[in-house]
Structure 1
């Protein structure tokens, strides 16, 4: 009874929310913590000067070294998403701040969208929809295109999501090969230690590697040219991994067969030149955008914060 009485008067832990989160996540955070929403502050600098010394956690991403330096009591950054390249992990490590992400829970959603984009591009499904809506069908057929059956897909990044994509591609009767930092002996797919070689031998190149300095521009003009005029590229990772101007130029000239893109270098801004291309399918970074997945991601953000403040092991620490 005395414990309950004391708990009622304990000051809640103060945390900083850096961007909008799913409603279920925000509600769970509000039940546990005093939440300061940086993205809604009329004057973010003033908010940080007022509450910064008391903030012990961040929920969300987009965390710079400058922001970390303004939060002397910061203990943990619980990122909403599997990719954490928007967080300065070096600065976090130097400040002894833990960082978590939300892996595994979005594997299926991203893999499903990847195969959906591939089919949409191969069969020109968005173009077919517009063809019918604009009343063009009575006058002519849309044309003949391609299919996935029997094609080779090269996966750049055979991690958790990459493996889910591989299994679905095999169900589509595709041959799977992959490129990564090292060969994975337990995987049955052919491993390439040279990305250009894999692109040359593939009909499809799927990008699902982490973002950040280590992978910036890894899909270079040379890789795109190796994929060639009959090759197709799918990016469900980060726009920074591809030389976007080179890709656009090759798509326009016929040097690259097609592209299905869920991410862009400067999103949400997308080069308008993409809009005029029939060999492109565009998607607004919605790889994990399902109710099930986003709710699970939000729950993992909260669970990592709960574990940290209870002194228990973190569910998904990256720093």
Structure 2
């Protein structure tokens, strides 16, 4: 039943090989699994944390390993493409700059989509972009991504992709950028909509970045809501509650709730929460607040600096809500 695993490590250069050789990353016969391995130290004190996604169906899911980095799950005319560990593979000081590495990871994804008859614009739903030293290299990633999106028809007049851009590292010493992505092949018109609430959050292009706040994918009996990395921001694009990590968490959750309400759901429909903290010393207070506010929600809290230094925390998650659209494919 396993489809996707993200393994968060405290020291990827020393631990990634152990994970790759373990059952966490093993492909069993006729049952491959997409595995993401990223350095974002778990703040619980563990060396490793695991986010695992399984499908509970009467019949095992039909899965196909397309390549080391791409795995496809087929059901009811749809192809769910999981792309993981997309990176330049740079291991020495001659590595390309961040802009070139960003282009390289997107070209890898675009190539996989093209081979399946898909496009970045019409079929990619969600990306996770991990950047070393986000305070220095984030702008280069943003510039390269905007260039790629424009070339592939992703503009303010069309749409962007749900995304998280956060500090993290893959297992190659000189890679500055790595990426995971989720795409759906075979989507029908009207199946995908984009989540906004302009009373709470401004359009991302207002501050010159290119991603969707959230993306809703509808099916015959349900909808999946992919909430992008969300921080303590207001409708004018300003950082709210400077220096106060607890109030920033509350504002980020209010923003997530607003986005989910735009898609006919709310915080109660979240399946899990990933929390990124700039300062590991904030972990005890954040864990206590989440235990108080969302006691039954699975969560992983990791070290990961956000794209603006003033943002002390960012959250993301996936929600599932019942829907009735018999005209759409089933999940």
Q: Which has the higher helix share?
A: 1
**TM-score, with length taken from structure 2:** 0.28
Bigger CA radius of gyration: 1
| TM-score of the superposed pair, with normalisation by structure 1 | 0.29
**Structure having the larger proportion of residues in strand:** 2
